[in-house]
Amino acid sequence: MTDQFRFGRPYDFHELVADGIVHGIGVVFALIGATALIFYATVWSSYAEMAAAWIYGLGLVIALAVSFTYNMWPHSRTKWILRRFDHSAIFVLIAATYTPFLVKGAHDWVILALLIGIWATAFVGIYLKCRFPGRYDKLAILLYLAMGWSGAMALGPISQTLPGITVLLIIIGGCIYSAGVIFHVWERLRFQNAIWHGFVVTAAAVHYSAVVTAISH
C-alpha cells in the first residue's frame, strides 16, 4: 500500500466483525424504517412531505449501505474510491435528515433559506471530497458538525412548526452524533470504528423517530 492510499490503522478481525454487525443492524433497520415511512407519507401526508420522506429515506439507506461497503472493503485502490462516496454520503445524510423538518416550515423565509443553505453546503462538501480526496478531512468534520447544528440558527421558527417532542429528538440525536466524533478521531482505541458507528446508528434511529413524529403531526 503506497502513501497515496491511507486509511488509518488496519483493524483486526474482531474489530471488523463488530463493525460489520453494527452496520448490518443499521442497514436492515434503515431499509425497514424507510419503507414504512415512505408508505405512511404516501398515504397520509402532502406531496411535499411525501417527497421529503423519499429524500430522507433514500439518504439514510444509501449513507449506511455505502458506509458498510467502504468499511468492510480491504485496503486497496477501490477502497480509496469508496472512501469518497462514504464521506460524501455523510453530507447527503445530514441534508436529507433536515429536509422533512424544514419542508414543514418552508413558507417561512428563514427556514427556506436554511434548507437551501444546508443542501448548498452538502454539495460543496461532496465536491471537496470527490475533487480533493484525503486533503480536507479535518475541514470536513467541521462542516459535518456545522451542518448538523445549523438548525440552532432557526430554532425559534422551527419550534413553531414542529411538535416539542420532535425538536427534543433532533437535539438528542445531534448530541449523540457529536459525542461519537470523539471516538471517530480516537483511532488508537480498539473497536474505535465500531463504537463510532454505534453512535451513528443510534443517532440515526433517534432522528428517524423525530422524522416520524414530524410527518405524523
pLDDT the model gives residue 75: 86
So what's the pLDDT on residue 96? 98
* Average pLDDT across the chain, whole number: 92
Question: Which pLDDT score, from 0 to 100, does residue 135 have?
Answer: 83
Residue 4: pLDDT band (50, 70, 90) is very low
Tell me what the mean pLDDT of segment 21-25 comes to: 97
Assigned fold of 13-215:
Rhopdopsin 7-helix transmembrane proteins (1.20.1070)
Comparing 122 with 139, the larger pLDDT belongs to 122
Grid cell of 1 as nine digits? 500500500
Where residue 6 falls among pLDDT bands split at 50, 70, 90? low
Structural domain boundaries of the chain?
Answer: 13-215
Amino acid 133: pLDDT: 85
> What is the pLDDT, as a whole number, of residue 176?
96
Q: Average of pLDDT values for 193-201?
A: 97
What percentage of the chain exceeds 90 in pLDDT? 81
pLDDT (tens digit per residue) in 204-215: 999 999 999 999
Residue of 212, 147, 213 lying closest to 178 (CA atoms): 147
**Is the separation of the CB atoms in 215 and 49 below 8 Å?**
yes
The whole-angstrom separation of Cα 52 and Cα 100 is 5
**Which are the contacts of 71, defined by CB distance < 8 A and separation ≥ 6?**
19, 20, 23, 86, 193, 197
For the record, the C-alpha cell of 209 comes out as: 423517530
Q: What is the pLDDT of residue 8?
A: 67
| Residue among 100, 1, 63 at smallest CA distance from 197 | 63
The answer for residues whose C-beta is within 8 angstroms of residue 47's C-beta and 6 or more apart is: none
- pLDDT for 145 beyond 70: yes
pLDDT tens for 78-118 read 999 999 999 999 999 999 999 999 999 999 999 999 999 99
Specify the pLDDT at position 2: 42
Q: What is the pLDDT of residues 38-66, one digit of tens each?
A: 999 999 889 999 999 999 999 999 999 99
